[in-house]
Amino acid sequence: MKPYFIHFNIDPTSAMPHISPLMGGRQQCPPGYTYGPVMRQYYIIEYVLSGKGEYTVSGDAFEVSSGEAFIIKPYEVHILSADKEEPWEYVWIGFSTDLTLPNQFKENYVIDASAISEEFMRLSSAGGEKLSSAEYSTIVFSMFSKLYASENFEEDESRKPMDVAEAIIKKEFATITVKELAERLFLDRSYFGAQFKKHTGKTPKEYIDECRMSSATKLMHELGYTVTQAASAVGYSDVMAFSKMFKRHYGKSPREFLKTKENTICRSTFHLK
């Protein structure tokens, strides 16, 4: 492929909060092309579209090929060298952020970028003038979300994002929302929803509703709560909304449930005489 260089013009003043895209571009390097040594004051993540090359940082050299990404960290001297036979073509974006970085960013220089290839394809196909600064910010946030979600917590299984989500719901089902849950786990809401359903077989909302209804039945059956009291305890200020959800789950209204309970008690008492 003929060498080329495209610079993406980004206006950082219109960026979203917490993520400021600063620069970006796409390049097909000529064989053996070397850039550096150079140092940046911000993060850059570069995704190799095709070919291969060598990324040298602080004296350590890393071979990087198609489908992988390398991470340039602030204030670290680095050199980029395209392979002489299969020179790399890559797309990149540079940014600053006050968000907590995924561990893969903090602990590695080269990563398998299959989880975030979609974001780089979007950067690659859109070009510099077709995306707003806010859209660049969204792309970076989406990368963070997917990298965070895909991290392997083998040393502590309870820290896996979907396990954490389940634990939070079971504890806070009366007040938690799907939006708040996704934000707490630093995950894009739609991506979180898909991963949660894959993990549990239910959407986050379905899981929350199920916890609420299960708790409500126990409160009414075992502790003698009224319908209004049970509804309030599991997070419903509107009793009618609670009743509709209850009937959707159990095929009967809360009052019908209580009546069935009373009849069961009466029959049990009769047989004990």
Q: Mark the ranges of the chain whose per-residue pLDDT is less than 50.
A: 152-158, 263-273
| Model pLDDT, residue 263 | 44
The residues, ordered by sequence, that sit 6+ positions from 123 with a Cβ below 8 Å of its Cβ are: 8, 24, 26, 91, 93, 131, 139
Share of the chain above pLDDT 90, in %: 42
| Model pLDDT, residue 12 | 63
pTM of the predicted model, to two decimals? 0.56
Place of tokens 């299959």: 114
Could you tell me whether strands 89-97 and 68-72 are parallel, antiparallel, or unpaired per DSSP bridges? unpaired
| pLDDT per position as a tens digit, 115-158 | 888 889 888 876 555 677 777 888 888 888 788 766 644 444 44
Whole-number Å distance between alpha carbons of 15 and 4: 28
Whole-number Å distance between alpha carbons of 148 and 158: 15
Check: CB of residue 92 under 8 Å from CB of residue 25: yes
